């Protein structure tokens, strides 16, 4: 009988927390099994290696993120609204997949050098292109300042959104939507075209 999808999800969630706290290299299959309350040999019934566990965690997070981003991009909003929606979806992903986001931030550079994890570099390139295009379209439409340094703005937006994974706690005082709203108020007031009477 094959393991239930629910049990597999539970194990991946536990493994993500261990990887996020301990780091990929310092985490053994035994440590993940201990955290899951099972023997290491039993964990191999579900996954063939530590690599396959972290790959499934990262692919699951990125597939969901891109599903949501692609929905936003297909909606054809004007650039300011696209940016608002992308930032909001990013904070929602941090809420849903905080440990996976932390693993992605800490480990993806080292992992992406290996062929098995080439999808990480591909996702990063797609992510960068999505944001650069949104910002360029905003400048062209007059929604964002004409003198905006697009690449620097992209790096600022990327880093300030995703670093939230290090402090955000699900179920805390603010919802992901509230955090996104406050964040966007600060960012957009800094890059929006000034309104002249």
Confidence of residue 186 (pLDDT cuts 50, 70, 90): confident
Q: Mean pLDDT of all residues in the chain?
A: 91
With tokens 């591909």, the residue in question is 122
- What are the φ/ψ torsions at residue 128 (nearest 5 degrees)? -60, -45
HSE of 74, CA atoms in CB hemisphere, 13 A? 6
- The pLDDT of residue 16: 96
Dihedral class, residue 174 (left if φ above 0, else alpha if ψ from -120 to 50, else beta): beta
Domains (range + CATH), the chain: 51-191 (1.10.357.10)
Three-class secondary structure of residue 11 per DSSP: helix
Q: Is 62's pLDDT higher than 90? A: yes
The rounded Cα 75 to chain-centroid distance in angstroms is 21
Rounded to whole angstroms, the Cα distance separating 87 from 90 reads 5
Tokens of 6: 């629910």
Nearest to 148 by CA among 158, 135, 159: 135
Confidence of residue 4 (pLDDT cuts 50, 70, 90): confident
- The pLDDT of residue 113: 92
Q: Is 139's pLDDT higher than 70? A: yes
Give the per-residue SS3 of 37-50.
CCCHHHHCCCCCCH
> Which DSSP symbol is given to 104?
H
Please give the average per-residue pLDDT across 14-42, as a whole number. Answer: 94
Return the minimum-mean-pLDDT range out of 70-79, 105-114, 165-174, 177-186. Answer: 165-174
With tokens 């993940």, the residue in question is 32
Please give the average per-residue pLDDT across 87-94, as a whole number. Answer: 94
Dihedral class, residue 154 (left if φ above 0, else alpha if ψ from -120 to 50, else beta): alpha
- The pLDDT of residue 40: 87
Tokens of 59: 């692919």
Confidence of residue 190 (pLDDT cuts 50, 70, 90): low
User: Exposed (0-12), middle (13-18) or buried (19+): which is 119, by Cβ within 10 Å?
Assistant: middle
Q: Is 52's pLDDT higher than 80? A: yes
| 131-163 core/surface letters (b: 16 or more CB in 10 A; e: else) | beebbebbbeeebbeeebebeebbeebeeebbe
Rounded to whole angstroms, the Cα distance separating 43 from 96 reads 24
- The pLDDT of residue 100: 95
């Amino acid at each position: 009988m094959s393991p239930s999808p629910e049990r597999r999800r539970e194990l991946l969630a536990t493994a993500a927390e261990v990887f996020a706290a301990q780091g990929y290299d310092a985490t053994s299959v035994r440590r993940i099994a201990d955290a899951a309350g099972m023997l290491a040999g039993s964990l191999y019934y579900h996954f063939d290696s530590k690599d396959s566990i972290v790959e499934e965690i990262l692919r699951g997070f990125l597939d969901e993120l891109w599903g949501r981003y692609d929905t936003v991009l297909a909606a054809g909003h004007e650039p300011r609204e696209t940016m608002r929606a992308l930032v909001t979806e990013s904070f929602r992903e941090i809420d849903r997949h905080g440990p996976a986001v932390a693993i992605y931030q800490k480990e993806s550079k080292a992992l992406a050098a290996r062929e098995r994890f080439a999808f990480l570099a591909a996702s990063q390139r797609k992510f960068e292109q999505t944001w650069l295009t949104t910002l360029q379209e905003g400048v062209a439409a007059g929604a964002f300042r004409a003198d905006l340094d697009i690449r620097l703005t992209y790096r600022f937006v990327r880093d300030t959104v995703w670093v939230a994974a290090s402090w955000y706690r699900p179920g805390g005082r603010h919802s992901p939507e509230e955090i996104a709203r406050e964040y966007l108020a600060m960012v957009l007031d800094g890059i929006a075209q000034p309104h002249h009477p």
